[in-house]
Amino acid sequence: MTDYELEQRICTAVEHATPDRLDKILSSCNQQNTRTCTPVCKETRADGQAEGAIMDMLERKHKNFRWGSARKSLASIVALAAMFVLYSRGSNLCTVPAVDSVIMLDVNPSLSLSVDAEENVLSVEALNGDAEKVLGNMELKDTSLEVAVNAIIGSMLQKGYLGDLQNTILVSVENEDAAQGEVLQQKVTEAIANAVQNSSLDAAVLSQSICTDDAVLAAKAAEYHISLGKAVLIQEVIAQVPTLTFEDLAPMSINEIALITVSKNVSIATVTQSGAASNKAYISQEKALNVVYNHAGMTMEDVIEMEIEFDSKHGTLVYEVEFETATKEGEYEIDAVTGEILKSELKNRDNAEVGFGYIGAAAAKETALAHAGVTAGDILEIKIELDSDDHIMIYHVEFETGTKKYAYKIHAVTGAVVTSEAKDQKNGTSKNNSSSVSSGNSSYIGEAAAKKAALSHAGVAESNTAYIKCYLEYEDGKPAYYCVEFKVDKTEYEYEIDLYSGTVLDCEVENHSNSEKP
């Protein structure tokens, strides 16, 4: 049976065993889009509204959007919107009785539009200095929502608030009527698409409907000069990533927040996204890692585990890098724009492992040395690695004294010696122990004899081999046979030799290059 035929059998078996979860997946995807707010009666939704006028994606993702749990009266939501505008900015642009919806746009500029039931703009509120620059002398009152959005987005493009480096816009809609909220979300998103279609901008749009009477959150939004919609988004993000704070995210652009949420696999069911946030303003992950490697005096080859994510440090976008080598673990924060190291922590893995309930590399080493009857001063070379072995965390401790080589497996939690091996470096004979086996068996033929048996069977002289290696193979934790591997020209040999008699149990001759598929 060739490698390819064997792999085909594996493919077939797994394919046959794979369950059909498609319906559940599709159902779950639909449910995720409806999770934000409790359902209202489907009958309230006007059939056929906005058909064909909305981007396909939004059509699909919004089909099941419904308003929130607390069904407030029109008066209460209008009052909330009015209070927010009044208290946050101290101006009185909002005519309370006529306001039907509040639409908030956040890029870094944050602004809020109040519209009536006919989608005419009643007022526009700049929530921060950047938004004031965007609005300039524009008079948007009494224009249609679509015209106002077009003008605002156009101004953001012209003034450089939107571009290749920052391409993400958050649209938040407050409206008591779920169906109307959906329509407005879609209309604003479409208006944004129209506004950027003649530019080179590949915009990303996050959109959400919000329904909150959280006065504390509204106050925070006012404090940071952002919209209530952006505050709601931030609240959702920090609920999923507790290491982030409101203060970390509030100063950041929506583009940066979007990069962090993607990087940290944050999924917010209430937010619909089209397009991807731009990462062009930032150094690449590879560059950030090179900064770390250089500072830590290591190479990529040393890394055992590594995680790199976007994060926020006091409002600055950073790469958060965490890694482990065989002996160390590090945590870095790299400024995502400049590549400057903002934080660096490098410590021996020992400490961190103890924190996870492992005994630590030092204790594993001590256990192995004590078991071998060797002192630290006798060791010429030692390697300690933490790895999983059939879901059990094991310290692999290998060391040499000049006359012997030792290999230990130490249970990472209990510190028990799982297996041990001591090999004489002069003649290659070895002793093997395992927790389930009695002490080494001196009646084994030894590696030299095993090699000889294999070479003899193959009719090959050791001097003609490109390499030859011999080791004990274990089955169920017990030594089973000697495995002898060697290569002559392009031919690779693998032998299994009986531990006691030196009999050839199995042999395989193959071309190593066949292991890659055609």
In whole angstroms, the minimum distance from the beta carbon of 439 to another protein comes to 25
In whole angstroms, the minimum distance from the beta carbon of 8 to another protein comes to 8
Three-point CA angle 300, 303, 307, nearest 5°: 100
Q: Burial code of 10-42, b = ≥16 C-beta within 10 A, e = fewer?
A: eeeeeeeeeeeeeeeeeeeeeeebbebbeebee
In whole angstroms, the minimum distance from the beta carbon of 267 to another protein comes to 4
In whole angstroms, the minimum distance from the beta carbon of 153 to another protein comes to 20
Query: For residues 391 and 426, which CB has a smaller minimum distance to another protein in the complex?
Result: 391
Query: For residues 379 and 393, which CB has a smaller minimum distance to another protein in the complex?
Result: 393
In whole angstroms, the minimum distance from the beta carbon of 118 to another protein comes to 29
Which residues 6+ apart lie within 8 Å of 131 measured at CB?
A: 109, 110, 111
Query: For residues 22 and 41, which CB has a smaller minimum distance to another protein in the complex?
Result: 22
CA dihedral (144, 146, 152, 153) in degrees, to 10, reads -170
Closest CA to 68 of 172, 218, 170, 177: 177
Give dist(CA 215, CA 87) in Å, integer: 11
CA-to-CA dists, residue 411 to 57, 355, 373, angstroms: 52, 16, 19
Check: CB of residue 192 under 8 Å from CB of residue 171.
yes
Give dist(CA 103, CA 101) in Å, integer: 6
Query: For residues 139 and 389, which CB has a smaller minimum distance to another protein in the complex?
Result: 389
Which residue's structure tokens are 């077939």?
12
Give dist(CA 229, CA 233) in Å, integer: 6
In whole angstroms, the minimum distance from the beta carbon of 262 to another protein comes to 3
> Tokens in use for 398?
């290998």
Helices (H) and strands (E) in the chain, counts: 15, 19
Query: For residues 247 and 485, which CB has a smaller minimum distance to another protein in the complex?
Result: 485
Give dist(CA 434, CA 394) in Å, integer: 14
DSSP state of 51: T
In whole angstroms, the minimum distance from the beta carbon of 494 to another protein comes to 6
Query: For residues 285 and 344, which CB has a smaller minimum distance to another protein in the complex?
Result: 285
Phi-psi category of residue 391: left, alpha or beta, with phi > 0 → left and psi -120 to 50 → alpha? left
Query: For residues 214 and 485, which CB has a smaller minimum distance to another protein in the complex?
Result: 485
Query: For residues 21 and 426, which CB has a smaller minimum distance to another protein in the complex?
Result: 21
List, edge to edge, every strand of the sheet that includes 404-411: 381-389, 392-400, 404-411, 417-424, 430-434
Query: For residues 118 and 475, which CB has a smaller minimum distance to another protein in the complex?
Result: 475
117 sits in which H/E element: none
In whole angstroms, the minimum distance from the beta carbon of 2 to another protein comes to 10
Binding site for another protein (CB under 8 A): 1, 3-4, 6-22, 24-26, 28-29, 32, 55-61, 204, 258, 261-263, 265, 267, 273-277, 279, 301, 303-306, 388-391, 494, 506, 508, 512, 515-518
In whole angstroms, the minimum distance from the beta carbon of 94 to another protein comes to 33
In whole angstroms, the minimum distance from the beta carbon of 278 to another protein comes to 10
In whole angstroms, the minimum distance from the beta carbon of 447 to another protein comes to 18
Considering all CA atoms of the chain, what is the largest pairwise distance in Å, rounded to the nearest integer? 99
Which residues 6+ apart lie within 8 Å of 423 measured at CB?
A: 404, 405, 406, 407, 429, 430, 431
